[in-house]
Amino acid sequence: MAKGIISVSDCLYRDNFFKEIKKREGLFICTIATTKTAEIPGISAAGATPRLRRYTAQADVEYLFYEKTYTIKEIPKNPLGPPSPVIITKACLNLSGIPVFIIDAGCQKKAKVPAIIIRQKGLDCITSGKAFDKAEDLFDISKNLAFEFAKLNRFIILGESVPAGTTTALSLMSYYGISAHNKVSSSIKDNAHSLKSEVVKTAHLNFKKRHKGKSTPFDIVSGIGDSMQIVNGTMALFLADYVPVILAGGSQMLAVVCFMIKLSEYLGKKVRWENISVCTTRWVLEDKTADFRGLSKDVKKDLLVLASDINFSGSKFKGLQMYEEGLVKEGVGAGGIAGAGFIRRYFDQNTLLEEIERLFGKMI
Amino acid sequence: MAKGIISVSDCLYRDNFFKEIKKREGLFICTIATTKTAEIPGISAAGATPRLRRYTAQADVEYLFYEKTYTIKEIPKNPLGPPSPVIITKACLNLSGIPVFIIDAGCQKKAKVPAIIIRQKGLDCITSGKAFDKAEDLFDISKNLAFEFAKLNRFIILGESVPAGTTTALSLMSYYGISAHNKVSSSIKDNAHSLKSEVVKTAHLNFKKRHKGKSTPFDIVSGIGDSMQIVNGTMALFLADYVPVILAGGSQMLAVVCFMIKLSEYLGKKVRWENISVCTTRWVLEDKTADFRGLSKDVKKDLLVLASDINFSGSKFKGLQMYEEGLVKEGVGAGGIAGAGFIRRYFDQNTLLEEIERLFGKMI
C-alpha cells in the first residue's frame, strides 16, 4: 500500500491497479455543472448562500487555472468559514505537474477558463422530473472525448464540482434500488437527509408521471440525476478500455459507478473494472452522518475503493482545521488527485499540507 | 532530411527541431472560427457557396471525430468538386494515433464535437474594422491553455479551419507592412487577389477611423484579422517555451508568425523560434498564383519553413487528382500533420495516399 492511502474495500486487483498508475503520468479532468437543485435553501453548503451556489463550480475551476476567481469575488466557502476543497486540488496540481482540463456539462453562467463546453445551459431542479435534455448527445460527445484522452496513455482522474451533487447522487442511486437514503455524505455539517429525501421523492414522482413504462439509463439520468453523472460515467466506461481511471469523489462517484453499471448493461458493453477505482477523502470515509463504506458495497461489492489520508488537525490555520469538524469533506476531485499523488509519489502528506497552507495563507 | 519533407527555407536549427520532434509523441489542435468575410461572393472556395461556407469549419471537425458530418450533409467541397483537405488530416490522425483537440474561437453555429469553446459568437466581416471583441480574454485563455497542453510534453501541431482565412491573413500581414498583396495562397483556382485587396483596403480604412493614434496587437488583430491568429499565435508563443510546435498551414500560419513577432515585442517576451516551424503542403508551395516562399522570407527571414510532399497525381480518384490542378491546397492542418507524420515516421507517402483513398472511397 502507498503511504497516505486508506483501502476502503478488499479488492483483488488493487496492487495491479497501483502498478498501472505508477507506469504512467496523470491527467485531471474536472466536470462542472450547475443545477437549480442547489438553490433549495439548506440543501448544500457548497457556497455560502443559494445565490452564490450558482457560481461555485465556475469559481472552483477559475481558481484551478489562475489562483483567483472571476465569476465571484473569492473561492467558494462553507457558510461557517472553511474554504472550498479546490485548495487541496490546486495544491496537488502544483506539486505534481498534472495538467487539468475542464468539461462544462451545463453551467448557466460560463466560467472564465478554457473549457470543453458540451452543454450551454444550466440544469433544472430534479423535482421537475426533467433535469436536462439531449442526454444521448452528451453520451456521444463524452465517448468520443474519451477516445482522444485515452490516446495520451495517461492515467485519468475524473473529478467534479456540482453543488447539490450529493442530492442528485442520492436521487440516481435510490431510483436504481440502492438504499442510499441517510447514507450519502454532504457539504453540510449535520447533513440534510430528510430534506434531500423529500426532494428526491418529488423528483421520482414527477419523473414517473412523465415516463410511463420502461425508461433507458439516458431517460433516468436526465430526469432525476445530473449531467456530470452521464459525462463521467461514459468517459470512465470507455477510458477504462485503455488506461486506469480514478473516479475522484465520494457519494457522487458512487452514483457514477451505479450509472456505469446500468449504462453498460444497456449498451451490452463489458466494463474493465480492473482499471477503475473510486478515491475520496478520509473526511468522507469518517463522516458519521453518512455511510460511505456501506453505500459503496451496495453499489458494487468488489469495487476498488480508496481514501486519501489528508489531515488538517495539525494545521496552523483555523479555516483548515475546521475540515476536521466535518465542515468540508470533498469536491473538485480533491480526494482522488491527492490519492493519485500519494500512489505516484508526486508528494507526501507533509509536502501536500505545506502547499495547501501556502495557498491558504495567500488567500486570507 | 525526412522523406516526404521539402525544406522551404535554409534554417540553422532544422536538424535539432527534427530531433526534438522524434523524441516525443504528437498532439493536434485545430482552431476553428467563422467570419462574415467568407460570405463575400467569390472570396473563398472553402465551401461551395457563401451560405455553405458558414458551416465549413464545423463540418471539417465533425468529420475528424466521426468520419461524417452533422452541421451540413457532407464534408465541404470546392465548388468544382474536390473534397476538403480534412480528408488528409483525418488519414494522418488514423495512421498516427495522434489525438485531436478542437478550439472553437468563434463559430456562429456550434459543431457537434467536444470543443474548447472560447468564443460563443462568430466573427464579423473585417470590412467593419472590428472583426471581434475581447481579444485580451482570448489571449489570457489561450496562454493558460498552452500551459496545460505543454505539461503533456508532446510536440504540438496547430491547425485551423477558417474560411476566408487567407484574406484575414493578407489583412493582418499587410497592416504590419509586409508586402503580401498578390502573394497569399487561396482555395480559389485563380486566387482572387484584387477582390481580397479591395476588402482589406476597406477593412484598414474603417479600422483606422475607429483607432486614431497607437494601436496594440490586440486592437489590430481583433479589428482587421481573425481570432484563429490570436489563439494560435498566443498558444505557439507559450508552448514553444517547453515543446516543439508546428504551425500547420500556409499563408494563414505566416500571418500567425507575423502576429507572434508583434505580440512578443508588445509583451517584451522572448520567442524560442528554435522550437517553431511552419509546415504547409507542396500545393501551396507550388501555387503559381501566390508566392509562399517569398512571403515567408518577408515575414521572418530565418524561420523554419517546411512543406509536405503529398502528391495525388497518381490517385485512382478524379476528385483527388484535382488537387494537382490547384483546386484545393491546404487546410485543417493537413500540411503540418502530414509533415509531422513523415518526420516521425508514423507513415510514408504511399501508406498516406492509400488511407486517403480508403476514406475518399467510403465517401463517394
Q: Would you state the pLDDT for residue A130?
A: 98
Q: Do A99 and B66 touch (CB under 8 A)?
A: no
Three-point CA angle B48, B52, B56, nearest 5°: 90
Which residue reads 491497479 in cell numbers?
A17
Which residue of B118, B144, B149 is in closest CB contact with A65?
Answer: B144
Q: Would you state the pLDDT for residue B300?
A: 97
In chain B, residues with a C-beta closer than 8 Å to the C-beta of A142 are 114
Give residue B74's pLDDT band: very low, low, confident or very high (50, 70, 90). Answer: confident
Q: Is pLDDT at B80 greater than 80 in this prediction?
A: no
Q: What is the mean pLDDT of residues B150-174?
A: 97
Which residue of A114, A141, A151 is in closest CB contact with B99?
Answer: A151
Q: Is residue A356 part of a domain?
A: no
Q: Which residues contact B317 (CB under 8 A, 6 or more apart)?
A: B357, B360, B361, B364
Q: Is residue A253 part of a domain?
A: yes
Q: Would you state the pLDDT for residue B76?
A: 79
Q: Do A148 and B100 touch (CB under 8 A)?
A: yes
Concatenate the DSSP letters of all residues of A111-139 into one string.
Answer: -SS-EEE---SPBPPGGGS---S-HHHHH
Q: Would you state the pLDDT for residue B317?
A: 93
With beta carbons less than 8 A apart as the criterion, state whether B173 and B226 touch: no
Could you tell me the CATH number of the domain that includes residue A167?
A: 3.40.50.10210
Phi, psi of B98 (to 5 degrees): -70, 130
Mean pLDDT of chain A: 95
Which residue reads 466535518 in cell numbers?
A326
Q: Would you state the pLDDT for residue B294?
A: 97
Q: How many domains does chain A have?
A: 1
Q: Do B148 and A98 touch (CB under 8 A)?
A: no
Strands, E, within B64-205: which ranges?
100-104, 115-117, 155-161
With beta carbons less than 8 A apart as the criterion, state whether B56 and B86 touch: no
Q: Is pLDDT at B208 greater than 80 in this prediction?
A: yes
pLDDT tens digits for A52-98? 899 999 999 999 999 999 999 988 777 777 889 999 999 999 999 99
Q: Is residue B214 part of a domain?
A: yes
Q: Would you state the pLDDT for residue A74?
A: 85
With beta carbons less than 8 A apart as the criterion, state whether A91 and A359 touch: yes
Q: Is pLDDT at B78 greater than 80 in this prediction?
A: no
Which residue of A113, A114, A145 is in closest CB contact with B114?
Answer: A145
Q: What is the mean pLDDT of residues B27-56?
A: 92
In chain A, what are the helix, strand and coil shares in percent, each to the nearest 5? 45, 10, 40
Phi, psi of A250 (to 5 degrees): -105, -115
Q: Please give the Cα distance from A71 to A81 (Å, whole number).
A: 19
Q: Please give the Cα distance from B144 to B289 (Å, whole number).
A: 39
Give residue B364's pLDDT band: very low, low, confident or very high (50, 70, 90). Answer: confident
Q: Please give the Cα distance from A301 to A290 (Å, whole number).
A: 18
Residue type, B268: G
Which ranges of chain A have pLDDT less than 70?
none
Strand pairing category for A245-248 and A276-281? parallel
Strand pairing category for A245-248 and A155-161? parallel
Residues on A contacting B at a C-beta cutoff of 8 Å: 27, 65-66, 97-101, 103, 112-118, 137, 140-142, 144-145, 148-149, 151-152, 154
Q: Which residue of A has its CA nearest to B150?
A: A99
Domain ranges, residue A240: 5-350
Q: Is the pTM of this model over 0.90?
A: yes
Give residue B127's pLDDT band: very low, low, confident or very high (50, 70, 90). Answer: very high
Q: Please give the Cα distance from B256 to A158 (Å, whole number).
A: 35
Minimal CA separation from A60 to chain B, in Å: 16
Q: Is pLDDT at B145 greater than 80 in this prediction?
A: yes
With beta carbons less than 8 A apart as the criterion, state whether B5 and B338 touch: no
Q: Do A114 and B151 touch (CB under 8 A)?
A: no
Q: Please give the Cα distance from B131 to A229 (Å, whole number).
A: 39
Q: Please give the Cα distance from A308 to A346 (Å, whole number).
A: 14
Q: Is residue A200 part of a domain?
A: yes
Cα distances (angstroms) measured from residue A146 to each of A67, A240, A242? 28, 9, 10
Rg (chain B; Cα; Å): 18
Q: Would you state the pLDDT for residue B45?
A: 83
With beta carbons less than 8 A apart as the criterion, state whether A46 and A329 touch: no
With beta carbons less than 8 A apart as the criterion, state whether A302 and A246 touch: no
Q: Is residue A362 part of a domain?
A: no
Which residue reads 476502503 in cell numbers?
A8
Q: Is residue A364 part of a domain?
A: no
pLDDT tens digits for B310-343? 999 999 999 999 999 988 899 999 999 999 999 9
Q: Would you state the pLDDT for residue B168?
A: 98
Q: Would you state the pLDDT for residue A327?
A: 84
Q: Is residue B64 part of a domain?
A: yes
With beta carbons less than 8 A apart as the criterion, state whether A226 and A162 touch: yes
Determine which helix (DSSP H) or strand (DSSP E) holds A260, and give its type and residue range. Answer: helix A251-267
Q: Would you state the pLDDT for residue A358?
A: 96
Mean pLDDT of chain B: 95
Q: Do B116 and A118 touch (CB under 8 A)?
A: no
Minimal CA separation from B140 to chain A, in Å: 9
Determine which helix (DSSP H) or strand (DSSP E) holds A200, and give its type and residue range. Answer: helix A193-210
Q: Which residues contact B318 (CB under 8 A, 6 or more apart)?
A: B81
Q: What is the mean pLDDT of residues B48-76?
A: 92
Q: Please give the Cα distance from B141 to B131 (Å, whole number).
A: 19
What are residue A276's DSSP bridge partners? A245
Q: Is residue A110 part of a domain?
A: yes
3-state secondary structure of B40: coil
Q: Please give the Cα distance from A158 to A102 (Å, whole number).
A: 10
Which residue of A97, A144, A151 is in closest CB contact with B114?
Answer: A144
Q: Would you state the pLDDT for residue B308?
A: 98
Q: How many CB atoms lie within 10 A of CB A49?
A: 10
Q: Which residues contact B127 (CB under 8 A, 6 or more apart)?
A: B37, B199, B202, B203, B206
